[in-house]
Chain A
């Protein structure tokens, strides 16, 4: 039998190495974090980019120049490379530092404004983002639109000088503390066979008249999620992001920044580090050492993949397939850490503990379902991979 091998698309971009300069930056960040921890300014937690909201800490990071790093200086940023930002964010996440307040603004809002925003919009928001003063939410999901995001029903109708917005967004992380979000809304009715047309992104001030923000408690009881209801909210014309009708393309571009970063495999890293602490000095058999080693091999490999995607994004490419793969593997890895942490150390999770292993474990267990849902579910991501393989 002769071989008839067709070719597969590249599943990962070429390996990337961090510039020497980024490694020097890493040393600075570690020193800063060691000082912060010594001062007891925070306790390491699982899933801090979701739940660790600390505006003072955010401002201290900004003072070091570690927010809005890739934003050009003329908009208050630092004009650094995305790989520099990568190093800072992975160090913060590994330390379990409270980064939630600025997370969305720093990760995706800055880049989106730079790509699609007007000069006035950039001047209005970017300096505040870089200063750690302006926080954003994500206004995509709705009660009847989750994975099928293009089916959103929130509608904006044209009025004098702007748009009148009515509808409901849901699962809005930090919506009760954020200043604004980009709402994905319908600006013209759906057309047969063109469901991605007629969508737009509006920059909505979450304190505007007609906006109601209601809490939805998480499994832990914490207030993180919100429902955001718009009742004829006036959005001025100059608060349309990009072009009217281009919302779908813009949103999918925004998601590319959301999928392959270090937060997609480090959400439970503080628990893994604590696990190593519990096991050091204990009499761990070969099976335990093997399980631990296998986890760290996965971590090492995931980080290399994620860095390769970051390198590719930094050179202006959009490696959608590779980003989906990182998120699928990475979020499953976050769950594997929890399994190992439970099986190798017999400490029941305790949500009431002040800190320590039992608390890290409790937070991880109760946050775990979200890992494989947020930012596009793993099943949906595998659909993207299947399309990349030419199967659909």
Chain B
């Protein structure tokens, strides 16, 4: 029935593989999980949707989407999404990238100055920069492949303790090429779509843990999940998880169907980022309420997904920013254009 019509389907074995790889990972450390990254490279998951001639596995975006959801659910400490977007951007500009984990930066503010093949300036909060083999930057009309070793690096993190480092370069030499037309809006969408998929997974992970906990924790002589007040809260969280998952998964399908440059893709990806961001807030709130004090500690695993929900909802465009963008699209469409916009 997946007409429009020959969309690929997700390979269930692949999802199974991803789930078990992430479940076996060491979730407690901080920074890059090098063992997990090695496994991802060995299994071909690290560059799943990158073309084979660019040292990728040549899988479909729908496969990658399913794997990103699992990575989010498993709180994987790897730049899987960033590596994918970095590879896409470098390939679009005809630049080579090294092997290993990569990262991506969208320099909208023009913080980087490109002069021939030297670059200067400061890039703030670059994901995973300290562990990346290269940073692929979209800045103005250029794509730059930068070696972090040529930069001064100040470590920072997001609220989930994931690396978000500040890089300063002063006349560093880098590979530079012209960015293709429309790159800025398209790569903002790639980044937002990846983040939405990770969010959908993290929301699911937080719900899974909360449902499990509600079945185990006993008060008043019975599991707290037997109380209707707790059940109703978890049902609300489940609805948010369902909505976020459907939005992110559907947006990936629209991008596969129409291409990331299509007007339909913009509404789809923006909706997915808004919906997963809003779900993040509600799911994290309920998950913590259901867990009581123990979930409020660094010792408990709940934080692995909830802190990511809080971090990721504000990355690659906050839900507020993307919602404003949708508001603009809707106002441009007008009263009679709203329904055609939503159903396109």
Contact = CB atoms under 8 A, between A and B. Distances in A.
Given A16-B2, A17-B1, 7 more contacts: A11-B245, A276-B334, A284-B327, A289-B327, A294-B326, A296-B267, A296-B341
Contacts of B300: 1
B184 interface: no
B204 A8 contact: yes
B5 A20 contact: yes
Contact of A8 (B208, B243, B320, B331): B208
Interface string B68-99: 00000110000000000000000000000000
B208 A7 contact: yes
22 contacts: A1-B301, A3-B301, A11-B245, A15-B250, A17-B1, A17-B3, A17-B7, A26-B343, A95-B339, A276-B338, A277-B334, A286-B324, A288-B327, A294-B323, A297-B323, A298-B243, A304-B247, A308-B246, A383-B228, A385-B238, A392-B225, A392-B226
A108 B3 CA distance: 26
A80 to B, nearest CB: 14
A299 interface: yes
A38 interface: no
Contacts of A5: 23, 73-74, 205, 208-209, 212
A379 interface: yes
B231 A391 contact: yes
Interface in B324-338: 324-331, 333-336, 338
Contacts of A308: 246
Given A328-B235, A391-B214, A392-B226, A293 B325 contact: yes
Interface in A228-286: 269, 272-274, 276-277, 279-280, 284, 286
Instruction: Give the contact-size bracket for chain B.
Output: 35 or more
B335 A296 contact: no
B252 to A, nearest CB: 9
B231 A290 contact: no
A325 B275 contact: no
Interface residues of A, number: 67
B33 to A, nearest CB: 13
A300 to B, nearest CB: 4
B119 interface: no
A74 B133 CA distance: 67
Most chain B CB within 10 A, of A3, A7, A379, is at A3
B323 A382 contact: no
Interface in B22-76: 23, 27-28, 73-74
A250 to B, nearest CB: 26
Interface string B220-233: 00000110101110
A18 B257 CA distance: 12
Contact of A389 (B209, B235, B327): B235
A221 interface: no
Nearest to A328: B239
B238 A389 contact: yes
B153 interface: no
A4 B212 contact: yes
Contact of B1 (A8, A19, A381): A19
Given A6-B208, A7-B208, A290 B323 contact: yes
Nearest to A279: B331
B261 interface: no
Contacts of A95: 339
A12 interface: yes
Contacts of B232: 379, 382-383, 386
B149 interface: no
B323 A315 contact: no
A-B pairs, top 8 by smallest CB distance, nearest first, are A289-B327, A277-B335, A293-B326, A382-B235, A293-B327, A293-B323, A386-B231, A297-B274
A94 interface: yes
Nearest to B253: A15
Given A383-B231, A383-B235, A305 B243 contact: yes
Contacts of A208: none
Given A17-B1, A303-B342, A390 B324 contact: no
Contacts of B14: none
A26 B344 CA distance: 11
B305 to A, nearest CB: 10
A26 B74 CA distance: 41
A284 B331 contact: yes
Contacts of A292: 323, 326-327, 330-331
Most chain A CB within 10 A, of B205, B245, B328, B330, is at B330
B104 interface: no
B246 A12 contact: yes
Contact of A294 (B28, B319, B336): B319
Contacts of B250: 15, 301, 304
Contacts of B2: 16-17
Interface string A16-33: 111111000010000000
B160 interface: no
Contacts of B244: 301
A20 to B, nearest CB: 6
A75 B271 CA distance: 42
B322 interface: yes
Contact of B330 (A276, A329, A388): A276
A165 to B, nearest CB: 35
Given A292-B331, A296-B338, A314 B1 contact: yes
